[in-house]
Chain A
Amino acid sequence: GQQVMQIPQYQHVQEGEDFTTYCNSSTTLSNIQWYKQRPGGHPVFLIQLVKSGEVKKQKRLTFQFGEAKKNSSLHITATQTTDVGTYFCAGIDNFNKFYFGSGTKLNVKP
């Protein structure tokens, strides 16, 4: 069946360092969404990418969607302690089914 793999599983960084998480799908996706989950909380939507090769920025966060619409990445520049949490990608197929990656847990040391 369809799978979305996400790496790394954990990332520990010093405040001010950069962070990247990667997602790779076994099949072509219709679109991809990114979510952030704070410890003890629920996932919160960050952004959606739809077009092949799309790049979107939100302040220090940069999101990319691969040319083949099978992979995506989230890059955070100069992490802050407020960035702590687990970041999930969610690939969506043509039938509106969601396939979440396993998440990358980010810890930021002040």
Chain B
Amino acid sequence: EAQVTQNPRYLITVTGKKLTVTCSQNMNHEYMSWYRQDPGLGLRQIYYSMNVEVTDKGDVPEGYKVSRKEKRNFPLILESPSPNQTSLYFCASSLRGGFYEQYFGPGTRLTVT
């Protein structure tokens, strides 16, 4: 089944403790992206990647890191999480950039205390 998977689905952590949220797609998509969703703000793009080893900042990249070493994986790294990074995070992928529909993962609900 074609899908985008994210792990973990739920995470409660403390300020400053490094964490990684994994994202994987099995559709051979070139474009992958991370979003955060907050009430009243919609989805905001954090980072995106047009292909392996190519990543670019989205609208809200501060406090996040990403890497794209393989086509299928696009992990999101929070080196020192803070409470204002408490949010619902979605990973998405598309065949080749902004002219193709994005397929979203199920989401990761992160709480930083």
Instruction: Point out residues on A near B: beta carbons under 8 Å.
Output: 1, 6, 9, 30-31, 33, 35, 42-45, 48, 50, 88, 90, 92-93, 95-103
Contact = CB atoms under 8 A, between A and B. Distances in A.
A53 B97 CA distance: 23
Nearest to A92: B98
Nearest to B107: A42
Interface of B: 31, 33, 35, 40-45, 48, 50, 56, 58-59, 90, 92, 97-99, 101-107
A26 to B, nearest CB: 13
Question: Lowest 6 A-B CB distances belong to which pairs?
Answer: A92-B98, A45-B101, A102-B42, A96-B98, A42-B104, A100-B43
B40 A9 contact: yes
A42 B43 contact: no
B45 A98 contact: yes
A61 to B, nearest CB: 15
Nearest to B57: A97
Contacts of B33: 98
A33 B102 contact: yes
Nearest to B33: A98
Contacts of A97: 45, 48, 56, 58-59, 98
Given A92-B99, A98-B48, A98-B58, 4 more contacts: A43-B102, A96-B98, A98-B98, A102-B41
